């Protein structure tokens, strides 16, 4: 079993952020740098970089979906239907 410490969390966050920016850049036909700049201004990125959100435990496509919902003004609905349920599972596993 991997011990989860600050370094592991940081690597997970950086990896997911890079994957999300790369996917977004490809879909929007922009540079990865521009995609990362945009991503870093979002609520999704804010949550990802907060270890207490547990978002770093999700797969990059999940975070990308969250970002797309935020950018299309569907943030609240997406959060209600997806993130809150996932967070509850991480905090209170069966």
Q: How many domains does the chain have?
A: 1
Question: Which DSSP letter does residue 4 get?
Answer: -
Whether this prediction's pTM lies above 0.85 is answered by no
Q: If we measure between CA atoms, which residue out of 49, 63, 58, 73 comes closest to residue 20? A: 63
Does residue 83 lie within any of the structural domains?
Answer: yes
Q: If we measure between CA atoms, which residue out of 26, 44, 43 comes closest to residue 35? A: 26
4 backbone dihedrals φ, ψ, rounded to 5° = -90, 110
For residue 85, the model assigns a pLDDT of 60
Residue by residue, pLDDT tens for the chain (94 residues) are 556 688 989 999 999 999 999 999 999 999 999 999 999 999 999 999 999 888 998 999 999 999 999 999 988 888 877 766 666 655 555 4
Q: What residue numbers bound the domain in which 71 lies? A: 6-91
Does residue 73 lie within any of the structural domains?
Answer: yes
Does residue 1 lie within any of the structural domains?
Answer: no
Q: What is the CA radius of gyration of the chain?
A: 13
Inter-residue contact 41 to 17 (CB < 8 Å):
no
């Amino acid at each position: 079993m991997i011990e989860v410490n600050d370094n592991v969390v940081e690597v997970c966050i950086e990896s997911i952020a890079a994957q999300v920016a790369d996917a977004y850049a490809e879909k929007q036909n922009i540079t990865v740098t521009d995609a990362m700049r945009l991503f870093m201004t979002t609520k999704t990125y804010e949550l990802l970089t907060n270890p207490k959100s547990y978002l770093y435990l999700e797969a990059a496509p999940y975070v990308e979906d969250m970002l797309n919902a935020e950018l299309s003004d569907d943030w609240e609905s997406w959060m209600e239907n997806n993130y809150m349920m996932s967070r509850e599972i991480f905090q209170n596993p069966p």
